[in-house]
Amino acid sequence: MLFAAMHKTRMPDPSEALPGRATPMPVPERHAVLDVPLLPPYPDGMEVIHLGMGCFWGAERLFWRQPGVHVTAVGYGAGHTPNPTYREVCSGMTGHNELVRVVFDPSRLALEEVLKIFWEGHDPTQGMRQGNDVGTQYRSGIYPADPGRLPVAEASRERFNEILRAAGRGPVTTEIRPLEDFYFAEDYHQQYLAKNPEGYCGLGGLGIPYPAAS
């Protein structure tokens, strides 16, 4: 059991990763809550960011409830295996993170507010885990679709890291980088907690406010 846990918290080398497949996962036409298309193209002016906060079920619900969010979806990214299945991701042999795609209107919901929700909504100090969920797919991560937004994300990490250190917590282990591919998760994962209101939600922040940029 200990060996299995250690294996799942080690990023696999691309040479060891599962081969995956060329066929993408079928994607539902519309969001089960917001009733808009899950797939792009999205309306003009929308911004896209992918966030890893542990189990993606609760993270997606957190964001679809926010005014200014156009659509959300869950999937896999920042790994090696093309078009992975949930079972493959959970094996620890794809390197993927469980992500929520957040498509938002920056004129109604600023990126700083998105980052505030992100930082305050989970514990970004746990490395390859989130609470009792252990594995590479549960790591904290920020992956802006626009590489020009990386400095904003990195600056937010530094600010929150300083606050956590002052509170005797940290360091922040959040991964921030461009995302080469986002693979939609299986149909039953999309808006899971709308379809299963009593389902598992592992979200839990530290109770420490995020200091937004002045």
DSSP line for 104-158? E-TTTS-HHHHHHHHHHTS-TTSSSEETTEESGGG-EEEEESSGGGHHHHHHHHH
Q: How confident is the model at residue 118 (pLDDT cuts 50, 70, 90)?
A: very high
Neighbours of 167 (CB within 10 A): 11
Q: What is the pLDDT of residues 68-86, one digit of tens each?
A: 999 999 999 999 999 999 9
* DSSP structure class, residue 189: G
User: Stretch 123-151: mean pLDDT, rounded?
Assistant: 97
Q: Structure tokens of 19?
A: 């081969």
Q: Which of 18, 38, 49, 55 is catalytic?
A: 55
What is the pLDDT at residue 4?
Answer: 45
Read off the pLDDT band of 3 (50, 70, 90): very low
Per-residue pLDDT, 163: 96
Q: What is the mean pLDDT of residues 44-52?
A: 98
Number of H helices, E strands in the chain: 6, 8
Q: Is the pLDDT of residue 6 over 60?
A: no
Active site residue 201: no
**Model confidence pLDDT, tens digit, residues 7-41:** 689 999 999 999 999 999 999 999 999 999 999 99
